[in-house]
A and B are shown apart, each in its own frame.
Chain A
């Protein structure tokens, strides 16, 4: 039996400093999970408020983004039954780009000058290749390569062993490479 006390102003300040800057990252992850804006907004809101409610459990100095992503995936798993998820179309064009405000994250993206194949690939083709991956491979690539989580953090978010993260990542990248090589071959950049 306990009543819910308001957070101290210090905790609120800590939340503003640590958790609020993560909202873009959480929303991005929510969009990829929910595949539509409305559900992603709900997920983001639920995650942020839950993070606030349980903020006393967050250890300052650790990765707040990883902690909030763990909450997000929990909320998603508990709220969306597998049957419902499979009903949703998996076409990449489901993301309504006209309505979504985009924010380019890296200002000066460095590209490997030796990777002619990869340089020739358009942004939307990379996204399509990623979206085309089976869900479990896409999730690890998103968390490790886009959200910059460690294998251990990724394993915690997905509630799987680290070995599983490693093998799914390996497989996911191999499939992506095949898709992108296929594109390059079609353009005549790669010989078969």
Chain B
């Protein structure tokens, strides 16, 4: 082994203790006769220590710790609160528990008990139904990057769900306005058997709609024949909904699958 080989292929791993047995032996042989490379090894170790010692570790913020602890303490399987709502600690009262159970029963019984109307859902499924017929993008939509960048330029969240692993193609994106003037994005996906709409918009009122099921860690709803995933982010007052006709549990599984 010559110096160039040692420095290029062995030095770093040698400093990190990551050489294999044979490599370690060969490196040791070279260093035995090469003070220059020995010095370089010490120097590499010093740089490693410098980075280790001087780059600070930051403390996880107290409110995030609190939310995580809350989840641990209140984990009981079926829940009707999401991540976002952990900002407002909620005490389970017997009456509330009964009400929640009744709401779930309403879902199960399906048409026997009246469905509580949810205007934000009604609006979204009306758009979804029209997009199923025909979706017309209004932002450049040749790629995820196109759509993402245009959302960002419009000060809307640029993150896009990627349903490609399930055979969906991104049909494109739209930026529209809601009746109250708030901007809203619509991102539409289609495969041979199904479609999915992702919509995002800002809102001041952020209560989670009633009658939710927690599936795969998401608030999921079956509403008037549609499956809806509801993801609210109270810090930025932003809501993201995923809507499809895919059956509820399957939809929840598929969302979890692409989340990775």
Say yes or no: A105 contacts B18, CB within 8 Å. no
Query: B223-255, CB under 8 A of A: which get 1 and which 0?
Result: 000000000010110000000000001000000
A180 and B125 alpha carbons, distance in the complex (Å): 58
A residues less than 8 Å from B217 (CB atoms): 4, 49-50, 53
Q: Closest B residue to A52 by CB, please name it.
A: B71
A100 interface residue (CB < 8 Å to B)? yes
Q: Closest B residue to A1 by CB, please name it.
A: B249
Say yes or no: B75 contacts A12, CB within 8 Å. yes
A4 and B78 alpha carbons, distance in the complex (Å): 7
How far does the Cβ of B142 sit from chain A's closest Cβ, in whole Å? 13
Decide if the interface of chain A is mainly helix, strand, loop or mixed: helix
Say yes or no: A127 contacts B55, CB within 8 Å. yes
Query: B28-46, CB under 8 A of A: which get 1 and which 0?
Result: 0000000000000011111
Q: Closest A residue to B145 by CB, please name it.
A: A83
Say yes or no: A118 contacts B57, CB within 8 Å. no
B residues less than 8 Å from A53 (CB atoms): 217
Say yes or no: B50 contacts A118, CB within 8 Å. yes
Q: Closest A residue to B8 by CB, please name it.
A: A170
Residue from the list B12, B60, B215 in contact with A26, Cβ < 8 A: B60
A38 and B45 alpha carbons, distance in the complex (Å): 35
Say yes or no: B53 contacts A109, CB within 8 Å. yes
Query: A66-98, CB under 8 A of B: which get 1 and which 0?
Result: 000000001101111111100100000000000
B61 interface residue (CB < 8 Å to A)? yes
A184 interface residue (CB < 8 Å to B)? no
Tell which of B62-70, B90-98, B110-118, B191-199 binds the partner: B62-70
Given contacts A74-B260, A176-B47, whether A84 and B54 have CB atoms under 8 Å apart is no
Query: A17-28, CB under 8 A of B: which get 1 and which 0?
Result: 000100111111
Say yes or no: B76 contacts A28, CB within 8 Å. no
Query: A95-108, CB under 8 A of B: which get 1 and which 0?
Result: 00000111111100
How far does the Cβ of A26 sit from chain B's closest Cβ, in whole Å? 7
Given contacts A84-B148, A103-B58, whether A49 and B83 have CB atoms under 8 Å apart is yes
How far does the Cβ of B28 sit from chain A's closest Cβ, in whole Å? 18
Say yes or no: A78 contacts B162, CB within 8 Å. yes
Given contacts A44-B60, A166-B18, whether A111 and B77 have CB atoms under 8 Å apart is no
A31 and B149 alpha carbons, distance in the complex (Å): 22
Say yes or no: B59 contacts A5, CB within 8 Å. no
A residues less than 8 Å from B72 (CB atoms): 12, 15-16, 52
Residues of A164-186 contacting chain B, CB below 8 A:
166, 169-170, 173, 176-177, 180
Residue from the list B18, B51, B64 in contact with A151, Cβ < 8 A: B18
Q: Closest B residue to A118 by CB, please name it.
A: B50
Given contacts A20-B68, A150-B18, whether A145 and B214 have CB atoms under 8 Å apart is no
A144 interface residue (CB < 8 Å to B)? yes
Say yes or no: B51 contacts A78, CB within 8 Å. no
Residue from the list A5, A83, A145 in contact with B158, Cβ < 8 A: A83
Residue from the list B13, B52, B160, B258 in contact with A106, Cβ < 8 A: B52
A25 and B149 alpha carbons, distance in the complex (Å): 31
Extra contacts besides A28-B56, A111-B46, A145-B52 (16): CB < 8 Å:
A12-B75, A15-B72, A23-B64, A23-B68, A38-B235, A44-B61, A46-B83, A78-B259, A110-B49, A112-B45, A115-B46, A121-B50, A126-B55, A127-B56, A145-B51, A177-B47
